[in-house]
């Protein structure tokens, strides 16, 4: 018999490993240029309005903990720049891929994750507040089709797998 929850849980468990493998096989220059292009395209309205000026001469490091993915973002000449090499960070924002996805999909706000200790911000408090406020204003609908539907589907799959894992752990704990 085919159990979608069991398959979903196994598939989700493989995602961090798959993401790490893709990251290892993709040249750093391609990763850096791709992230830079995507971020500049996505944040074009904020760049035009000067809403990201708080990143000038500062480095925000994003860390996706379960994927071992770290990258720094800064603002130079009114363009976002991504650095994959280690830099002197002004702020580190760290969370799991699922928590970042929940943020992107609007399923949870940064404060909730922060107080549940699932999102950590280390460094410049003022920069952290600017970043948090920016995250609160971004809508999933700004992404080009079919990305919103794909991200929502992935988020739903992760949530289903998490519930299944919790239920399995509860059953094992009661035995």
Over 80: is that where the pLDDT of 121 sits?
Answer: yes
CB burial of residue 146 (10 Å; 0-12, 13-18, 19+): exposed
- At residue 60, the pLDDT reads 97
Over 90: is that where the pLDDT of 125 sits?
Answer: yes
Over 50: is that where the pLDDT of 118 sits?
Answer: yes
| Position with higher pLDDT, 163 vs 73 | 73
- At residue 145, the pLDDT reads 82
- Can you point out the beta strands (E) in 33-90? 60-64, 69-76, 79-83
- At residue 113, the pLDDT reads 93
| φ, ψ (nearest 5 deg) of residue 72 | -105, 145
pTM above 0.75, yes or no: yes
| pLDDT band at 130; cut points 50, 70, 90 | very high
Domain boundaries, the chain: 4-165
CATH number, span 4-165: 3.30.1050.10
Over 60: is that where the pLDDT of 79 sits?
Answer: yes
Mean pLDDT of 100-125: 91
């Amino acid at each position: 018999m085919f159990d979608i929850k069991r398959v979903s849980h196994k598939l989700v468990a493989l995602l961090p490993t798959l993401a790490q493998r893709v990251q290892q096989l993709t040249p750093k220059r391609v990763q850096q240029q791709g992230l830079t292009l995507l971020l500049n395209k996505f944040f074009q309205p904020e760049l035009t309005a000067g809403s990201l000026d708080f990143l000038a001469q500062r480095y925000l490091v994003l860390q996706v903990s379960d994927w071992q993915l770290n990258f720094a973002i800064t603002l130079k000449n009114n363009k976002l720049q991504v650095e994959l090499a280690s830099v002197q960070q002004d702020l580190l924002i760290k969370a799991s891929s699922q928590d970042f996805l929940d943020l992107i999909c609007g399923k949870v706000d940064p404060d909730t994750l922060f107080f549940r200790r699932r999102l950590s911000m280390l460094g410049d408090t003022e920069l952290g507040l600017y970043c948090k406020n920016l995250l609160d204003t971004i809508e999933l609908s700004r992404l080009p089709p079919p990305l919103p539907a794909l991200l929502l589907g992935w988020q739903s799959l992760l949530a289903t797998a998490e519930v299944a894992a919790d239920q399995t752990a509860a059953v094992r704990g009661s035995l």
